[in-house]
Structure formats: structure tokens, C-alpha cells
Chains A and B, each alone.
Chain A
Amino acid sequence: GESVGLHLPTLSVQEGDNSIINCAYSNSASDYFIWYKQESGKGPQFIIDIRSNMDKRQGQRVTVLLNKTVKHLSLQIAATQPGDSAVYFCAEIDSWGKLQFGAGTQVVVTP
């Protein structure tokens, strides 16, 4: 079936550097994507979303890029901080609001 998946299971990044987390999706009809951050012992927390009519969207220290040609999403975190250590999921949302999540990427920020 259709799936949303992440390329890298673990990303180690030095504090202050930029992080890039990648995600591939297979459903070319998908038109809405969300990035979530999940810290240990907590539920997924909304970070940023993007619709298919956009290529880029920026938030506070985060940027999401969408490449529809190759069905690829990325999340960029600027000046990564220790508090950014978490698992990051990309998700596709259907017309009913149901999320289909990718496998997740563990981001580890080192001093």
C-alpha cells in the first residue's frame, strides 16, 4: 500500500550545527504533510506543515522543503540545540485527518 518513510534512523549532530531530516512518500496524490517531534515519554508534537502547492515553508528555526518531483520532504533545523534531541516523524494526512506516519528519525545533539 501507500507509505511514508524516513531515510535515516539516527542522526547525530553537533550543537549549533544545522540538522536535515529526510522523508520519502509514495502516494503522489498526497497534498498535506506534517512534521512531528516526539520527546521521550511524550506524545508527538506538531512542528510544521506544508501543502503540496508549496515548495518551502519556514517556521521558527525550522524549514520544511517539499520536492513533488521525487516525492521527498525534508525538515531543516537551524542551530540545533540540546532540546532538539527527539524522534522526528513525517506524516501524510488524508482528507479525514488521519495521519500515516513514517518510521521516525532519532536526532541526537552532541555538545
Chain B
Amino acid sequence: DSGVTQTPKHLITATGQRVTLRCSPRSGDLSVYWYQQSLDQGLQFLIQYYNGEERAKGNILERFSAQQFPDLHSELNLSSLELGDSALYFCASSVGAGLNYGYTFGSGTRLTVV
């Protein structure tokens, strides 16, 4: 167990629907990062939050949004889902907002859009 908890582990939904993925960071970690892993794109950075504030954005679609709550857990919202959104979504956490040795990934949520 890495200490980073992601729920649900698996999610199957239809095109056009909206889903929410949840991440609880490792105890003491203030930064949360979201990554998407698909077969044709590899691991792609989506977005980073630090202590409730957005810090960096990557290749995140406008249909996707995220937030980090006061208790530091984070949610990634995916809307108007398309078949191409099927992927593994990983959350990672670290103590700080910058270079940090303690960068830990969760086990991911596998999203299948049918």
C-alpha cells in the first residue's frame, strides 16, 4: 500500500456521461497530481494542486476539471465522456510543491467508456 488511495478502482460508463474520481493523498502530503495513462499516449500529466490551490496544468481537456478540498483529498471530474477517455487515471502525492523525493502514486482508476 503506497498510502495514496484512489477510488473507485474500476469504472464503466457510457459516452456523454460524467464521472468523479477521488484521491486521498498520503498523510502529510500537500501536493496532488493527476495523470492519465492510455495505450497510445503513455503517462500524461493533467493537473497539480498544492494545499488547495491549482499549481500547474498539463494536457487537460476543458471537459475535465479537478479540485483539492480543505482535507487535501482531490477529485477529478470528467464530463461529456468520449470513447477516447478510456484510460487509467493515476493520482500521486508529495510533501511539497516542487522537487521532492517523496513522490508516491496510487493504484489508479481504470475508466472504460462504452
Which residues of chain A have a CB within 8 Å of any CB of chain B?
A: 32, 34, 41-46, 49, 89, 91, 93, 95-104
Contacts and interface: CB of A to CB of B under 8 A. Distances in A.
A97 B43 contact: no
B94 interface: yes
Contact of A99 (B97, B98, B103, B107): B103
A34 B92 CA distance: 14
B45 interface: yes
Contacts, number: 62
Interface of B: 2, 4, 31, 33, 35, 42-45, 48, 55-56, 58, 90, 92, 94, 96-101, 103-108
Contacts of A45: 2, 105
Nearest to A104: B42
Contacts of A32: 99
B22 to A, nearest CB: 15
29 contacts: A32-B99, A42-B108, A43-B2, A43-B4, A43-B90, A43-B106, A43-B107, A44-B43, A44-B105, A45-B2, A49-B101, A93-B99, A93-B103, A95-B99, A96-B55, A96-B56, A96-B98, A97-B48, A97-B94, A97-B96, A97-B98, A98-B33, A98-B56, A99-B33, A99-B35, A99-B103, A100-B45, A101-B44, A104-B42
Given A95-B99, A96-B55, A96-B98, A46 B45 contact: no
Contacts of B92: 43, 99
Contacts of A100: 45
Nearest to B105: A43
| Residue from B35, B94, B99, B106 having most chain A Cβ neighbours under 10 A | B99
Given A42-B107, A100-B45, 19 more contacts: A32-B99, A43-B92, A43-B106, A43-B108, A45-B2, A46-B103, A89-B43, A95-B98, A97-B48, A97-B94, A97-B96, A97-B99, A98-B45, A98-B48, A99-B33, A99-B43, A99-B92, A99-B103, A101-B44
